[in-house]
Amino acid sequence: MLDITYIRQNVEAVIAMLHNRQLALDEPKLHRLLDCDKERKELVQRSDEQKAVRNKVSKEVAEMKKKGTGSPDELIAQMKSVGDDIARMDGELTTIEAEMESILLALPNKLHESVPTGRSAADNQIFGKPVAFEHHLDFAVKNHLELGKSLRILDFERGAKVSGAGFPAYMGKGARLERALINFMLDMHTEQHGYTEVFPPFLVNQESLRGTGQWPKFADQVYHIGEDDLYAIPTAEVPVTNLHRGEMLDVESLPISYTAYSACFRREAGSYGKDTRGFLRVHQFNKVEMVKFTRPEDSYASLEEIRSHAESILVALKIPYRVLLLCSGDISANATKCYDIEVWSPAEQKYLEASSCSNFEDYQARRSNIRFKPDGKSKPEFVHTLNGSGLATSRLMVSLLEHYQTAESTIRVPEVLQRYTGFTEIA
């Protein structure tokens, strides 16, 4: 969440941020927050004054009882009245602080100065040049659904029978290829990029979702197991970031870099009517995630590093892709700056998002209370957190199958995956 002190001192900047994010309707919430903040400060001041009176009267009563002079009854009655006032103000303070927290949890993060201003995805900027690889697709290409069905490696129909639409089943060499992709990405991030591998829980509590910003703003997007009050994770970012919730990190340990595989579960509420064929929109998919905890001054260099690590996977696989710098109207509420990496689908004739790489600055760390002491002795500061998909396999699988198909409708296995699959072709 944003720091109330920052908001108080930068009201116009926060209002401009809301407008740039196309969230002008949230401006009344901001003004209500500031009103609550003013009320809170006044209440605290009045409560402190009354507590000082109570302390003074208590000493006077004690002194009278000690010396046996006069009757303290009037002072005791006065002290009771003061105590009642303090209790009432403390109750009002609790109510106001709860309202402030509710508003703070719903407000989005500030934006980095390099984020372009725009209304929607149409205003995102292409970062660098699209990267192409020649795959000699000089024949009528099939889409991933046709290939998956003809080769019996993907079964969306039986997946739907078991769980419902959007829950794919990988079969035979398709399952092996998916596992190969995951293992290859984990190995590359751990062996070449220096990440520590984590295998996290796939169910989390509400506090974890709150810590990374998925709660309460995106509560309608997560699957809830009511009996146990647990939630299926939308991304490994949630459990991995929360590993250090409430901790004071050793400054010498920073940056901390984790990579994790997880299944991801998303209700995709409100997505009906969009293209839902095959892997283009699913409720369960696999993803390898990268998560970093850094010093504040290092976070934007780390963002470029995460982006390059995600790109290196596509370069190794020889999958054509491009990078987008998201504009203010399309970036997620939690991020200050975000790159999307999109892979090219020759059958769909469009780019498909396969990775998002984001810097959250101290937005998540403040919600999760993850801090460090810069020199080991000074006042604690919040770390900066970052994450990047490295990568999500569903859209990546679309591009891989379509680019590596042959005129005979077989699939060549990318060279870097062959040691994981144990075969070079799916026929």
Indicate which residues carry an active-site annotation.
266, 281, 353, 356, 395
Dihedral angle over CA of 196, 302, 324, 264, nearest 10: 30
Question: Is the separation of the CB atoms in 248 and 373 below 8 Å?
Answer: yes
Three-class SS of the chain: CCCHHHHHHCHHHHHHHHHHCCCHHHHHHHHHHHHHHHHHHHHHHHHHHHHHHHHHHHHHHHHHHHHCCCCCHHHHHHHHHHHHHHHHHHHHHHHHHHHHHHHHHHCCCCCCCCCCCCCCHHHCEEEEEEECCCCCCCCCCCCHHHHHHHCCCEEHHHHHHHCCCCCCEECCHHHHHHHHHHHHHHHHHHHCCCCEEECCCCEECHHHHHHHCCCCCCHHHCCEECCCCEEECCCCHHHHHHHHCCCEECHHHCCEEEEEEEEEECCCCCCCCCCCCHHHCCCEEEEEEEEEEECHHHHHHHHHHHHHHHHHHHHHHCCCEEEEECCCCCCCCCCCEEEEEEEEECCCCEEEEEEEEEECCCHHHHHHCCEECCCCCCCCEECEEEEEEEEEHHHHHHHHHHHCECCCCCEECCHHHHHHHCCCEEC
Q: Which of 362, 356, 352, 350 is nearest to 112 (CA)?
A: 362
The structure tokens 């369960």 sit at 284
**Rounded to 5 degrees, what are φ and ψ at 52?**
-65, -40
